[in-house]
Structure 1
């Protein structure tokens, strides 16, 4: 049961980060969403908000990496298309006011030490996403250097789409990314 409470608190923190970022997230929100008692905060997260946020972002980063690992790898265009469809619901949530829980921790909201730790968690997650996506692209036949470059480009496009879609309140910026990414990959790596 204690493990379940901790898990619910982490899940609630991921959701809060996606909606409000680190600065806008509060323990009250996490407790209300998770159903945890106030005393559970420092019992499960003795490092306080910084520990809870870091663990939530790290968990979310690992979950995304696992989804990337499952992408089909028949052809580079297949990987790119599957990636874009995988992230579509997340970008749609951005257009409705959501965001990326991992990216949220890159914006300062605590002490310099907490901010540095959270930036490192985000950097590690983003590197893991690029590495995993590059692995799928390599499995699809790309040379490792080309796969790493394309993977980094796709993750960068995703993060930019989050911001632009949230600002615009719709998914048109992402639709442009989809059209351009598919055209570029189709041109560079024809069947």
Structure 2
């Protein structure tokens, strides 16, 4: 792994643990054991560029997993989405969450940070679209599939925050059970409307 990727991956880890404001270049250099002088070589636009790349990196990692898991079906893919975040919160002893959500929730100075908000919005929208596409492929109407995609992402992201606050994975298990029922019901309803 080259220095650039190590720094981006390190930024993902710091964002999911500390949030945007508490993630500094000094912390990143210490966390990744990279030379301080390489920061502006790899990220000439500074912290905003680093964080934007970290958000895109995190989004791609989750999207790649979802694309692979959705081959087995929509319900299985959503279970995998929940499993990703369960692993993040449990393996970190409830100290880490979603780096994309961390960036989306930060207050940005006026006229600054729009690129970061757009990156976060793009990541969340991509995950919702992948979920919706899997549901559409199994016959759920486009309108309902789009709503369900948004709902799943919002439910899971909110539940990750609850797990961190409670230091317990129970909320993810509860939401997972409800999402299973909701999606199985949506798929059953879609199948019942198919002709013949």
TM-score range, shorter chain: 0.7 to 0.9
Q: Compare relative contact order (CA 8 Å, sep 6+) and give the higher one, 1 or 2.
A: 1
CA deviation profile, 1:127-148 (whole Å, cap 9, x unmatched): 1111112112222332222221
Question: Is 2:124 the partner of 1:126?
Answer: yes
Deviations 1:167-191 (A, max 9, x none): 1111111111012112222334338
Partner of 1:51: 49
Displacement of 1:94: 7.0
User: Which residue pairs with 2:61 in the alignment?
Assistant: 63
Q: TM-score, normalised by structure 1?
A: 0.88
- Asked if the contact 1:94–1:165 (Cα under 8 Å) also holds between the matched residues in 2, the reply is no
| 1:109 CA drift (Å) | 5.6
> 1:147 aligned to 129, 145, 148, which one?
145
Structure 1, unmatched stretches of 5+, are none
Q: Any idea what SS the aligned residue of 1:99 has?
A: coil
**Unaligned ranges ≥5, structure 2:** 192-196
Q: Equivalences for 1:45-124 in 2 at 5 Å?
A: 45-73=43-71, 75-93=73-91, 96-108=94-106, 111-124=109-122
Contact 1:161 1:173 in 2 (8 A): yes
Higher mean C-alpha displacement, 13-22 vs 103-112 = 103-112
Contact 2:85 / 2:97 at 8 angstroms: preserved in 1?
no
Match of 1:26 in 2: 24
Equivalent pair of 1:19/1:99 in contact (CA under 8 Å) = yes
Q: Which residue of 2 aligns with 1:40?
A: 38
* Corresponding pairs, count: 189
| Post-superposition CA distance 1:95-149 (Å, at most 9, x none) | 6121111111123365333322211110111111111121122223322222211
1:11 Cα shift?
Answer: 0.5
Distance (whole Å) between structure 1 residues aligned to residue 72 and residue 54 of structure 2: 33
Say whether residues 1:17 and 2:15 are aligned partners. yes
How high is the TM-score relative to the length of structure 2? Answer: 0.86
SS at match of 1:128: helix
163, 174, 177: which is aligned to 2:175?
177
**Alpha-carbon distance in 2 for matches of 1:52, 1:74:** 34
* CA gap 1:52/1:117 in 2 versus in 1, 3 angstroms: same
